[in-house]
Amino acid sequence: MQLKIYQQNAIDELLTKAKRLLNLSGGKKLVFKAPTGSGKTIMMAEFLKQLVDDREVKQALSFIWTAPRQLHIQSREKLENYFETSRVLKCSFFEDLDDRKISENEILFFNWESINKKDNVYIRDNEQEFNLSKVLERTKEEGREIILIIDEAHHHATSEISQGLINMIGPKLTIEVSATPVLKNPDDMVSVDLEEVKKEGMIKKAIILNDQFINLIKKGKIESKLSGSSDELVIDAALKKREELVKAYQKEGAKVNPLVLIQLPRQIGKTELEHKDLVIRILRDKYKITTTNGRLAVWLSGEHINKEEVEKPDSEVEVLLFKEAIALGWDCPRAQILVLFREWHSPIFSIQTVGRIMRMPEPDNGHYKSEILNYGYIYTNLSDIEVKEDLAGGYLAIYTSERIPEYKPINLLSCYSVRHREKTRLSPLFINIFLNIAKNYRLKKKINRKSQKMDMRVFSDWKAEDIDVLTGKVLVGDRPIKMKSYDYQKLFDFFVRESLRGGEVSLYPEDRSVDKVKQSIYKFFQLEFKTKWGEDEEEIIKIVLSENNIDHFKNVIDKAKSEYIKEVSKREPEIKFVENWNIPEKIEYWGEYKKENVKKSVMKPFYGRFQSDLEKAFIKFLEKSDKVVWWFKNEDRDRKFFAIPYLISNEIKPFYVDFIIKLKDGRIGLLDTKAGLTKQVAGPKIDGLYKYIQIENKKGKKLFGGIVTNTDLRNYRGRWIYFNKTSKHFKANSFDNWLELAL
């Protein structure tokens, strides 16, 4: 599996922090906070694999993985599949344990809620002494430390329950894995940022509530035009959106059949049963969607129809009826529309509610060109919807704004950032580059294979009464070390990590990159000296680290790093261009945006989230202008919004200008509001915008623009002016060569 950049970074950080905590005395707590849909289980699987493989970890380890409801079963299945090839860890349930103990590098999976049930096998005393406390006792007697993983603890768990688990098990290290952790006072934390997950195309950009229907927030609760409507109208809206998605997937050439999830209330009596029958009747009579023709699946208590392959991207099932019970841990990335009815048991939206439609169906491909496919959709006739805090940070889009019908294309050249994992992680390409550099460097002739002297010493029986006497002195070890095989490997790893950090180009020394450098060196010896893989590593390490050879290998690694960065930079640019960018047809906004009463916004209605009072004042200025046809408040993210390329620190980056305006004479203004400018801060952007306008105008565009400010930065009652020259003409604290923005 190809891990995403944020996943690799999180795994590296987990490994570093876990190793540090394991070396400290007492039981420690580590929190791993990662958004729903980010791949928490896969990240944990790779982290555990690297942890047990790490030579720096000397303790023998056993693991316990606890989760709510039936999630521990799904987690075990995922991890077992992940370890299928390497077999580095064994995944077991309680009844699978050999000799009534947890073996080294074995993970025991169980349901953490069961610890509160006194008659459960985990707790109950029995003649065989096969209960959790005895299993833990035998495991620890054999000298193994226990790492406890508490998965999805925020579901019904409290910090008290988590603390109860910790007290009962007595682990060396507890790791809580959750989007919303509950452990109090952890010793360390690893966090994955939601925006990083979105950028990598693992999850959708947002979930849109009642698309095409106006939503309002009153006293902290959402009211929608769809609130109080009939169930049939809600189903109509959802299936209409599904047809739009089907056409968009076909246009993209993606073999994905989008799935509508209809969540029914828990059956309490006759009313809920009648409601289910009504939904099935609407689907059958109006849309010919039935279980008989395979377009409808049912996943209810005691009723499972057509659900066997519903998760497949191209499954013919279009609608799935289900209840809340299956939501936790269930993965179906093609699920994209969620329907909730007025009778649903709770008007509270949480990440649990929308998590089933957050994932992208083809995460390796990321987001699609067709923006409609990059969002999930909820349709509901619920009233007074309350949004939990875990959704307020950018999951649920409450408002939708649409481009005005009279808009005419402006077809601008735009750009956006492209992330390359090769820049932060060495790929197999490095091995070939290393071998070529070694050949040109004539490494084979420069090294001495007979030189294997490594002067490793430690201090023995040494002390100083006064630390000040050490000033300016060099201390030398006086007792040679007797080296073992793992010591050589440890030293080799340390040498490679330091080589990656040092030199002209510094790379983060994560395990994959370290392995690529080691493979390069082993391959060099194999090709040049016919050494055997798996047999001669210790001799190779002695040669490489000997005082006569080590600098030569440092030089080759350093040259190879520089060449590698040049090569991957040539292969793929830092940014990509959009040839004919236009104002988006639709933009979705979160609850932190507010509707503003404006007339000339190209997006109707306009929702604002201002970074400064200067932006607010500038919009008032544009609203009063007789020359402005429309204006657009730009955002600073992804390819959906407009950016020009600019050069900073020898890197090309996108510059998202604040405003795009259309004038009656046909000119397009690209204007960025700034206050308190300095040349160092604004210079590269000023030059980038100036160059962009000059080049595009030569192609026939009618562009103008630059940095915009007001001569009165306290009350904004002065003149609006803009700077349309290069940064070399920019004067700090002077508006002498700025132009009047005559609008």
Read off the pLDDT of residues 568-577 as tens digits, 9 standing for 90 and up. Answer: 766 556 788 9
Does position 487 have pLDDT exceeding 60, yes or no?
yes
Does position 472 have pLDDT exceeding 70, yes or no?
no
pLDDT at position 474, please? Answer: 43
Does position 658 have pLDDT exceeding 90, yes or no?
yes
The pLDDT > 70 percentage for the chain reads: 81
Secondary structure element (H or E) that encloses residue 514, with its range: helix 511-529
Does position 318 have pLDDT exceeding 70, yes or no?
yes
- pLDDT tens digits for range 160-190: 666 777 888 899 999 999 888 888 889 999 9
- pLDDT tens digits for range 154-165: 555 566 666 777
Burial of 476 (0-12, 13-18, 19+ CB in 10 A): exposed
- pLDDT tens digits for range 256-302: 999 999 988 765 566 667 888 999 999 999 999 999 999 999 988 77
Q: Which CATH architecture has domain 202-397?
A: 3-Layer(aba) Sandwich (3.40)
**Lowest model confidence (mean pLDDT) among 28-42, 303-317, 333-347, 449-463:** 449-463
- In this predicted model, which residue has the larger pLDDT, 516 or 242? 242
Does position 461 have pLDDT exceeding 70, yes or no?
no
| Segment 570-586 mean pLDDT | 84
Q: What is the 3-state secondary structure (H, E, C) of 122-174?
A: CCCCCCCCCCHHHHHHHHHHCCEEEEEEEECCCCCCCHHHHHHHHHHHCCCEE
Does position 90 have pLDDT exceeding 80, yes or no?
yes
Pair 426, 548: CB distance under 8 Å? no
- pLDDT tens digits for range 20-43: 999 999 999 999 999 888 999 999
- Band of residue 492 on the pLDDT scale cut at 50, 70, 90: confident
In 448-522 the beta strands, taken as DSSP E runs, fall at 457-458, 479-480
Using CA atoms, how far apart are residues 253 and 248, in angstroms rounded to an integer? 9
Give the CA radius of gyration of the chain.
31
| Segment 46-55 mean pLDDT | 88
Pair 290, 277: CB distance under 8 Å? no
pLDDT at position 695, please? Answer: 96
pLDDT at position 468, please? Answer: 44
Verdict on whether the full-model pTM lies above 0.85: no
- Band of residue 536 on the pLDDT scale cut at 50, 70, 90: confident
Which residues have C-beta within 8 Å of that of residue 176, sequence separation ≥ 6? 29, 30, 31, 32, 149, 150, 153, 162, 182, 183, 186
| Segment 375-396 mean pLDDT | 73
The residue type found at 742 is: A
Output the CA torsion sign for 639, 314, 233, 217: negative
* Tokens representing residue 594 in the block: 């507010």
| Segment 137-165 mean pLDDT | 79
pLDDT at position 491, please? Answer: 82
Identify which of 419, 417, 360 has the alpha carbon closest to the alpha carbon of residue 5: 419
The pLDDT > 90 percentage for the chain reads: 44
Pair 43, 35: CB distance under 8 Å? no
In the chain, % helix, strand, coil (3-state, to 5) comes to: 35, 20, 40
**Terminus-to-terminus CA distance in the chain, angstroms?**
55
Q: Which CATH architecture has domain 5-198?
A: 3-Layer(aba) Sandwich (3.40)
pLDDT at position 336, please? Answer: 95
Helix (H, G, I), strand (E, B) or coil at 19: helix
**Lowest model confidence (mean pLDDT) among 108-122, 162-176, 491-505:** 108-122
- pLDDT tens digits for range 398-438: 888 999 999 999 999 999 987 655 555 687 888 999 999 99
pLDDT at position 270, please? Answer: 64
Does position 681 have pLDDT exceeding 70, yes or no?
no
Output the CA torsion sign for 673, 679, 684, 689: positive
pLDDT at position 464, please? Answer: 43
Which residues have C-beta within 8 Å of that of residue 111, sequence separation ≥ 6? 66, 67, 68, 69, 70, 72
Does position 55 have pLDDT exceeding 90, yes or no?
no
Tell me the pLDDT of the chain averaged across its residues.
83
Does position 465 have pLDDT exceeding 70, yes or no?
no
| Segment 655-659 mean pLDDT | 95
* Tokens representing residue 605 in the block: 């209605």
Tally Cβ neighbours within 10 Å of residue 317.
24
Pair 418, 572: CB distance under 8 Å? yes
Using CA atoms, how far apart are residues 130 and 475, in angstroms rounded to an integer? 56
- pLDDT tens digits for range 67-82: 887 788 888 988 998 8
Q: Where are the domains of the chain?
A: 5-198, 202-397, 422-460+478-571, 580-740
| Segment 701-712 mean pLDDT | 94
